[in-house]
Amino acid sequence: MSCCKGPGYASPMAAFRNGPREQLLYVVCVQPDKTKQDYLATIDVDPKSPTYSQVIWRTHVGSVGDEIHHSGWNVCSSCHDNKELKRDLLILPSLHSCNIFAIDVGTDPRKPKLHKVIDGAEMRSFNCSFPHTAHCLATGEIMISTMGDKDENGKGDFVLIDAKTLKVTGTWTKGKVAKFGYDFWYQPYHDVMVSTEWGTPKYFKTGFHPDDVKNPERYGTSLNVYKWSTRELQQVIDLGHEGCAPLEIRFLHDPKAAQGFVGCAVEANVYRFYKTADGTWKTDKVIDVPAKKVSKDGVQSELNGLMSDILLSLDDKYLYFTCWLHGDVRQYDISDPAHPKLTSKVQLGGQIIENDLQVVEDKEAEGPLKPVVVKGKRLHGSPQMLQLSLDGKRLYVSSSLYSPWDKQFYSKMATGGGWIVKLDIDTENGGMKLDENFLVHFGDEPDGPVLPHEMRYPGGDCTSDIWLAED
């Protein structure tokens, strides 16, 4: 199957085998100074280009205090059979203002321009706020998960946007909605959509407070299973304390696969979710990153990993995730999804290095950790968001989680700017290696240091496209 019928690719393996090497990277950049505008940075990632690993364009959103966070497309590979549709708008929801920015990347991919702003009042009129994940649907609509009601209490809902008019048309759910919201992934073949939970926006937006984790009204622990065809919440799977704050969720890319993975932030665990013979969904914890016992000024504490992002390679062979407090990127072989095997780990910062913590006990028996320097620059902060090349050979890593949390945990990064680095991947045997010649540092941006978050390629990628056809 080829890639030339409609937007995107016919299947995940068509993208994996035939997709071109990425030449541009679109990166959401957040201003820690809330009197200045967030923007979309366009980065040249063509190694043959004279502007390789440089920001070549900045598309400002035109307002301040937005906190743009994730991004998605107006249409994608789920619409591959519709040749009348074109992937030409990148959709940027903003957490704080609830504004949604549509960026034209089709007219000139190297110089995107602001196409339209959907005012946050449209979303709040449907009692929704804190928009997070945007996915395009086969219907030509855009669906965005939300985490709060209009008053920023916890509420896991979804708004629909007409991709042609860019109007919010209402909410997706019929009947009961989830207690909390965050990410989601749908799989029409199994008539299912599964969503995840962070917590109550009006609390987590002020920073990470350990006592909030223990409060069931402030942090979520569940996966929410909806019947895709009827939009009804059918099953709530409580993962318990070890599954606190299940964030990024990924079905296997194979459209007929009835399983996937979710990364649970607070305790740094990965759960596999899967469909059983009776049609219900179950979960098993398959990866547990142990906490490290650390000491600072004679005071001991436990440092959990805080797993912040996960993704799967398009061939469903490798799982990647970041531990934002431990400061590492990990690769697991998931050829047997029920038993992932660690194949590589790369240290790129973290709390132990940043705060000169003494490691008292480490169950993984790592040696001394050292600051990371790339192209003469010390990397403050930690690895956070991930984006993998279509062929699985290059992994881009950005450092910002969420600006209030960045300021709390990595103040030097928040004031000095975040970064993007690249890891080269051994796709045959597993393994990752830092590319010492690639660095995009956001400390010297024209309007001051900024914080880079999610990354996209013009033609789609491993985390924005959902396929309806197998190879």
What domains, with CATH codes, occur in the chain?
A: 22-456 (2.130.10.10)
Integer Cα distance of 140 and 302 in angstroms? 47
Q: Tell me: the pLDDT tens digits for 46-61?
A: 999 999 999 999 999 9
Partners of residue 102 on adjacent β-strands: 91, 116
pTM above 0.85, yes or no: yes
Q: How big is the chain, counted in residues?
A: 471
Mean pLDDT of all residues belonging to the chain:
95
Integer Cα distance of 131 and 98 in angstroms? 6
Torsion of CA 202, 90, 48, 13, to 10 degrees: 100
Looking at residue 471, its pLDDT comes to 60
- Residue 182: helix, strand or coil by DSSP? coil
Partners of residue 166 on adjacent β-strands: none
Q: Span 206-221, mean pLDDT?
A: 96
Calculate Rg over the CA atoms of the chain.
20
CB-based contact 130:118 (threshold 8 Å): no
Q: Span 298-311, mean pLDDT?
A: 96
Q: Would you place residue 140 in the very low, low, confident or very high pLDDT band (cuts 50, 70, 90)?
A: confident
Residue 397 has pLDDT above 50, yes or no: yes
CA nearest to 256, candidates 468, 79, 80: 468
- Sign of the CA dihedral running 10, 12, 15, 17: negative
Q: Span 115-135, mean pLDDT?
A: 97
Looking at residue 67, its pLDDT comes to 98
Q: Tell me: the pLDDT tens digits for 170-186?
A: 999 999 999 999 999 99
Integer Cα distance of 107 and 153 in angstroms? 39
Place of tokens 């009197």: 35
Integer Cα distance of 400 and 47 in angstroms? 25
CA nearest to 100, candidates 86, 85, 119, 77: 119
CA nearest to 261, candidates 323, 121, 269: 269
Name the strands in the sheet holding 307-312, side by side, starting at the edge strand that comes first in the sequence: 307-312, 318-323, 328-333, 341-347
Q: Would you place residue 1 in the very low, low, confident or very high pLDDT band (cuts 50, 70, 90)?
A: very low
- Sign of the CA dihedral running 361, 362, 363, 367: negative
Looking at residue 4, its pLDDT comes to 45
